[in-house]
Structure 1
Amino acid sequence: MDVDDYIGGGSGGGGEALIGMKTVEAPDDGSNCLICLDGGGGGGEKTTTEAWVETPCAHRFHSRCLESWAQVKLGTCPMCRRELTAAAAAATTTAGEDVHVLVADPMVADPLLARWNLFVQRSTDGSRSMSSLVRVLAVSHVLPDEVAAGGAWPPPPPHVVELSFLDNLQVSKAAIQRLFFYDGGSLPPFESVVRSLQSSLAAVLAVFLPLAGKLAYLPEPGDVVIDYSPDAVSPGVKFVEAEYSGSVDDMRRLASDDEHHTEAFLQLVPELEVSMLPAPLLAVQVTRPRDDHAGGGGGAVAVGVAIHHGVADGQSVWQFIKAWAAAARGGSPAGQGLVKLSRVAADVIKGQRTRTFLLRADQIRSLKRRISRRIAAGEPPRETASPVTAYVAIASLVWTSVVRAKPHDAADEAYLMVTADCRRRLRPPIDPGYFGNCVAACYARANVGTLRRGGGDNGGDDEGLARAAAAIGAAIREQLEDPLGGDIEGWLQFHLSLPAARLTAVGSSHRFMAYETDLGWGAPSRVELVSPFARELVMLLGAAGGGVQVSVSLDEAHMDAFETSWFQTAAGDVTV
């Protein structure tokens, strides 16, 4: 085959055409795609029908994932950064090889995100003409106060924020979508709710001005950046007013059911149109029930917020939400002026259930005591264990419950990935008000059989909990010693080597006091993350009275067994 057959139609880096990649069989050795971290599955079990390609440097990816990377990173290999250009192809072409030609267009955002957006569109817009749960009433756009008032605008240049290394790791993920339910007699009429949210959003955008901008591609220096120039900000932030097809009581049931109504939740949060660059960074949706036209006097409302993950992690999202809530109550969204964002795709998930549990403060204290007592008894050895924090205790309960719910061999190893905030660990330290992504992944490892031991608080053996706590504490301690150290390629290879079926991820934090988000009419009755970042994911949030909300997404086949283990180990009624 001629070298010309390897040439794609797009541009890579310095204007050269990207080469094509050899098409290869899906791996059957348990390895995953090096970009989306999915693919071959664990234990030789193929979990996807995606087409696979191999680069001249012998790295394998899903073809659409590599196409996605090329569009944003401009023609370099994700693993070794080798340029995927015609010059590289000339040295590696072998006659007769089957070739899949990639076309890279740097003005198109991640196709993986486009696929996620298509899923959301099919779940919402595509169904609204027939069986939609939500009807759009109006779409407007909110400008920052300073823009609308014509005051101190435009801000001085530069109007660009470069993405950090940690931000770039999140660019290809779906937007962070948070959903807040409010009800009760203090809720004003819907029109007043809308006016309050719009005016307070305008106020907070004057402080978080870059969020009113766009994620954009700059040909020079060839990077994707946050653009908050006057032209980028002038369209405003999309604000959707909508109506839920159910009654006030129906909306309250959505907020109170422990089993998530995934379709309804997806339609109650705004879509973030990120399939093309420039892409918006923020959108808001407020939804009333069908029979609540007048509002007030015991009505209900849902407020959905979507923020691009490429510019914010969980801590930053709550920093913004907290400031917005302060503005909505008539206060100041911030005391330091403009927040400086300085820097140091998903397919439909089928067969998954999501449920929310509540751990009371006394149950958390009991877990900590039981784990500490077991460690004090010398199993695991005290010198290998860290002090048992609330987070470690909750993560231990989650991990042991997941492991007990699955039919793994007792001799296997299980893994737990947790995220640790690095803001106070970097040297030199960063500003406490830093807005962006600043978390590190920590991996705990323990034997399946050991994690299954014990359960219950009435004289039961809590060795499984204690072993889990020791492993989690050690993983966090090791990672935070040098949060940004190490080799990114080595980290990716390690993550990809883990068997997906035995890896559980815990995100968010019990320190995020979501139920303090008072937008002027009291605390929300329910707060949830809507974006499905992974097939198996556990999210934490702070709850009232020192409790912690735990939302669990798990394969349907394992949820009942998880609940049984959860209740037995927590030794109490912890469901919402």
Structure 2
Amino acid sequence: MPSPVRRISTCSVSPPSGHPPRIDLASWDLSMLSAQYIQKGHLFSMSDVSCRLDDVIDHLQNSLAQALLHFYPLAGRLVTEKPRDGTKGLFTYIDCSAGGADFVRSVADGISVADVVEPFYTPSFVKDLFCLDLAICYDAHNDPLLAIQLTELVDGFFLGISLNHVVGDGTAFWNFVTAWAEINRGVDPISRPPVLDRWFVDGTSIPIKLPYNEPEEYILRPKAPNLKEVFFLFPFESIAHLRERANDENRKAGEPTISSFQALASLMWRSITRARKFPENETVGCRLAFDNRSRFRPPLSPDYFGNTVYAVYAATTVGELLSHGIGWAGAMLNRIVRSYTDVEIRGKVDKWMDAPSIYTLAMFDAQSIHIGSSPRYDMYGCDFGWGKAVAIRSGNANKFDGKVSAFPGREGDGSVEFEICLSPENMDRLLLDREFMALIKT
């Protein structure tokens, strides 16, 4: 079935000149070269907008140019060079003076705001509301590091943002969007200017040399999997009840107190594992992506514009996971998260520096779940001047069976939304899981 989304025009947006010409990339950045872009976007209703859509677009393009003055690496392109002495290795950096960011205008014929948010399963056309579908970060040698797509709907519009994961992680993504929104509504100066200096281990030779002869040695382009994607809303009351139940279990067992998010992660892990119907002796895992900025001593600035993400990993057998309660699984996650101290993180960076490698989607095994994004990101607080978005949606990037993404609830009342991606048969079984379904808002 053809997509209802048609591209109308594309323009390039660049910041004023005068910024540094080059950004050398840190270990966390380089490891993302074969990852896909971060794709998140806001859905708006025209009933909340007091001007014509043409005026909205003109204003967004002007404010984007001003935002790129602060976030100038996003207007660049990647460059890879070989050592001049002919030895093995590759150097990749950002040329900040090349290319600009793309701003694309599109139209979704016959599609309304309700058509985006009301279906139980995320509609297939949502992926077409973003640029650079299934592009990998290496592609920014030619493609933009940042691509914005505004798609006109019958009664609203969608603002889709695709940001290259080499340039920044989820925290960096939302710091940029917040700053752009502030500029768009006339805030000057922005509340949180980015810290663009990259963090390197003491004694690092800059630029970092990757141990490859050609980029093809680390590039992997996975095909789009057949998935069902659903947003599940967990009200604050359900989350509080789940955490209380889990910590009551742990008090009786002498286990540590866990957070609300660890209780939710445990629920995801158990419920999806049940849906997958693995045998009891199968090893299953749960990965939690988390930000290292505050874990360093001294901590990195919360406005550090780059990557600092690691994923902690907990594993056990199906039988152990399902024979114990939410609290038991949550305590396992809690212990692993608390173990990631400044010393542990620096040790992992040192290990990577000894043998640099590039992450690919092939590293995510079919027996585990991976939980990314965060309800702490102020996604609905990104006010472009039109009030709160109707909804947040994500693109096609970095999705596979078992990918779970966390979002804050729209009402700011402590609720959390999880976007869950599963194969059709696993999703069908998840929807029959009574423990899981009893906690969501339908």
TM-score range, shorter-chain basis? 0.7 to 0.9
CA 361–276 in structure 1, closer or farther in 2 if over 3 Å, else same: closer
Deviations 1:407-451 (A, max 9, x none): 111233211111121101123432231111101110012231232
Deviations 1:108-165 (A, max 9, x none): xxxxxxxxxxxxxxxxxxxxxx923111111112222xx2xxxxx423x4x2111110
Aligned match of 1:227 in 85, 88, 95? 95
Aligned match of 2:244 in 366, 369, 374? 369
What is residue 114 of structure 1 aligned with on the other side?
none
Matched, 1:236 2:100: yes
In the aligned structure 2, how far is the partner of 1:270 from the partner of 1:357?
25
| Equivalent residues of 2:179, 2:192 under 8 A apart | no
In the aligned structure 1, how far is the partner of 2:369 from the partner of 2:193?
40
Aligned match of 1:541 in 407, 415, 419? 407
Aligned match of 1:354 in 229, 242, 261? 229
Matched, 1:436 2:303: no
- Higher relative contact order at CA 8 Å, sep ≥6: structure 1 or structure 2? 2
**Partner amino acid, structure 2, of 1:434:** Y
Matched, 1:328 2:184: yes
In the aligned structure 1, how far is the partner of 2:419 from the partner of 2:297?
34
Matched, 1:193 2:59: no
In the aligned structure 2, how far is the partner of 1:492 from the partner of 1:474?
27
Matched, 1:504 2:364: no
Deviations 1:472-519 (A, max 9, x none): 1112122335123143489989x9999923211111111112122222
Aligned pairs for 1:143-182 (under 5 A) are: 143-144=14-15, 147=16, 153-155=17-19, 157=20, 159-182=21-44
Deviations 1:386-413 (A, max 9, x none): x311220111111011111121112332
Aligned pairs for 1:39-438 (under 5 A) are: 131-144=2-15, 147=16, 153-155=17-19, 157=20, 159-187=21-49, 188-219=51-82, 222-229=90-97, 232=98, 235-248=99-112, 251-262=113-124, 264-271=125-132, 275=139, 277-289=141-153, 292=154, 299-332=155-188, 334-335=190-191, 339-344=195-200, 345-378=220-253, 381-382=254-255, 385=256, 387-438=257-308
Q: Shift of residue 464 of structure 1?
A: 2.4
What is residue 390 of structure 2 aligned with on the other side?
525
CA 256–516 in structure 1, closer or farther in 2 if over 3 Å, else same: farther
Aligned pairs for 1:14-29 (under 5 A) are: none
**Partner amino acid, structure 2, of 1:136:** R
In the aligned structure 2, how far is the partner of 1:451 from the partner of 1:533?
26
Structure exhibiting the larger radius of gyration computed from Cα positions: 1
- How many residue pairs match? The answer is 406
In the aligned structure 1, how far is the partner of 2:363 from the partner of 2:127?
30
CA 218–492 in structure 1, closer or farther in 2 if over 3 Å, else same: closer
Matched, 1:562 2:430: yes
In the aligned structure 1, how far is the partner of 2:151 from the partner of 2:362?
43
User: Which runs of 5 or more structure 1 residues have no equivalent in the other structure?
Assistant: 1-129, 148-152, 293-298, 454-462
Deviations 1:540-576 (A, max 9, x none): 01112211110000111110221222x534634424x
In the aligned structure 1, how far is the partner of 2:293 from the partner of 2:193?
21
In the aligned structure 2, how far is the partner of 1:553 from the partner of 1:512?
20
CA 219–348 in structure 1, closer or farther in 2 if over 3 Å, else same: closer
**Partner amino acid, structure 2, of 1:325:** A
| Equivalent residues of 1:177, 1:305 under 8 A apart | yes
Matched, 1:473 2:344: no
| Equivalent residues of 1:507, 1:539 under 8 A apart | yes
Deviations 1:357-406 (A, max 9, x none): 0111111111110000011111xx32xx3x31122011111101111112
| Equivalent residues of 1:255, 1:526 under 8 A apart | yes
Question: What is the DSSP-based 3-state SS (H/G/I as helix, E as strand, rest coil) of the residue aligned with 2:429?
Answer: helix
Question: What is the DSSP-based 3-state SS (H/G/I as helix, E as strand, rest coil) of the residue aligned with 1:475?
Answer: helix
In the aligned structure 1, how far is the partner of 2:261 from the partner of 2:52?
39
What is residue 420 of structure 2 aligned with on the other side?
552
Percent of aligned positions with the same letter in both sequences?
27
**Partner amino acid, structure 2, of 1:332:** D
Q: Shift of residue 452 of structure 1?
A: 2.2
| Equivalent residues of 2:74, 2:100 under 8 A apart | no
CA RMSD across the alignment: 2.7
| Equivalent residues of 1:361, 1:547 under 8 A apart | yes
Deviations 1:42-93 (A, max 9, x none): xxxxxxxxxxxxxxxxxxxxxxxxxxxxxxxxxxxxxxxxxxxxxxxxxxxx
Question: What is the DSSP-based 3-state SS (H/G/I as helix, E as strand, rest coil) of the residue aligned with 1:546?
Answer: coil
| Equivalent residues of 1:418, 1:505 under 8 A apart | yes
CA 358–306 in structure 1, closer or farther in 2 if over 3 Å, else same: same
Question: What is the DSSP-based 3-state SS (H/G/I as helix, E as strand, rest coil) of the residue aligned with 2:396?
Answer: coil
In the aligned structure 2, how far is the partner of 1:416 from the partner of 1:402?
10
Aligned match of 2:346 in 462, 467, 484? 484
**Partner amino acid, structure 1, of 2:146:** L
Q: Under a length normalisation based on structure 1, what TM-score does the superposition of the two structures give? A: 0.66
| Equivalent residues of 1:206, 1:338 under 8 A apart | no
**Partner amino acid, structure 2, of 1:324:** W
User: Which runs of 5 or more structure 2 residues have no equivalent in the other structure?
Assistant: 85-89, 201-219
| Equivalent residues of 1:284, 1:304 under 8 A apart | yes
| Equivalent residues of 1:179, 1:265 under 8 A apart | no
In the aligned structure 1, how far is the partner of 2:61 from the partner of 2:261?
36
In the aligned structure 2, how far is the partner of 1:265 from the partner of 1:397?
27
Question: What is the DSSP-based 3-state SS (H/G/I as helix, E as strand, rest coil) of the residue aligned with 1:484?
Answer: helix
